[in-house]
Amino acid sequence: GEAARLKRLQQRLSRSLRVHGRNRASKRRDAIRAEIGRLNARIRHRRADFITQEAVHLVRDHGLVAVERLRIKDMTASARGTAEQPGRNVRQKAGLNRAILAKGWGGFLLKLEHAARYHGAHIEKVNPAYTSQTCHACKHIAPESRESQAVFRCVACGHQDHADVNAAKNILTAGLAVTGRGDLGVTRSTKRQPPTRLAA
Ligand SMILES: [Zn+2]
């Protein structure tokens, strides 16, 4: 709703900018600008609140949180390319970067690590290669198993899950393998829940 309202305000502002002169019009523009500023601040604050709460929640209830090590800077750089060799699929990647940055993944990781230090939890960053293409049930790797953004259906064994959930399970498995906890981590953990809750 706020995104739609922001868009409407920006449209109103640009319409009002085409009408030149008059004092009244310029006052109206100032008012629209102020409202856009307030709306942006509210969106920013809520996002910050949300990621802080989510980070604390994760590390308070779990001894280990496994996340994908996303190289946000590399991805942003590779999309731009160079003057001689402009990046391929620049527009697609720019869209992806925008989405990643908009969701504040980097900011979330920082909050998560900070909260983890405070609560004594461990954050394991795993290699993101193939996490979304690997079947969690039979470990078969195939890009075709990723039917769509949402659906994972293994071409080898037929296992089906939400694509993000399948990937998250693979990330957790990789995190447990790296820390050597395996299944023991679940039973030995002094935390209240086994590591079943997955980071979005
Ligand atoms: Zn499978």
Distance 174 CA to ligand 1 centre (A): 17
In this structure, what are the phi and psi dihedrals at residue 124, rounded to the nearest 5 degrees?
A: -110, 120
SS3 for 162? strand
Distance 123 CA to ligand 1 centre (A): 28
Distance 183 CA to ligand 1 centre (A): 21
Query: Are the C-beta atoms of 199 and 67 separated by less than 8 Å?
Result: yes
Distance 78 CA to ligand 1 centre (A): 32
Distance 189 CA to ligand 1 centre (A): 29
Sequence ranges of the domains in the chain: 133-200
The per-residue pLDDT for range 17-75, each reduced to its tens digit, is: 776 666 777 888 899 999 999 999 998 888 788 778 888 999 999 999 999 887 655 55
Distance 137 CA to ligand 1 centre (A): 5
Least Cα distance to 3 among 38, 37, 30, 43 occurs for: 43
Query: Are the C-beta atoms of 197 and 58 separated by less than 8 Å?
Result: yes
The per-residue pLDDT for range 5-21, each reduced to its tens digit, is: 999 999 988 887 776 66
Query: Are the C-beta atoms of 87 and 78 separated by less than 8 Å?
Result: yes
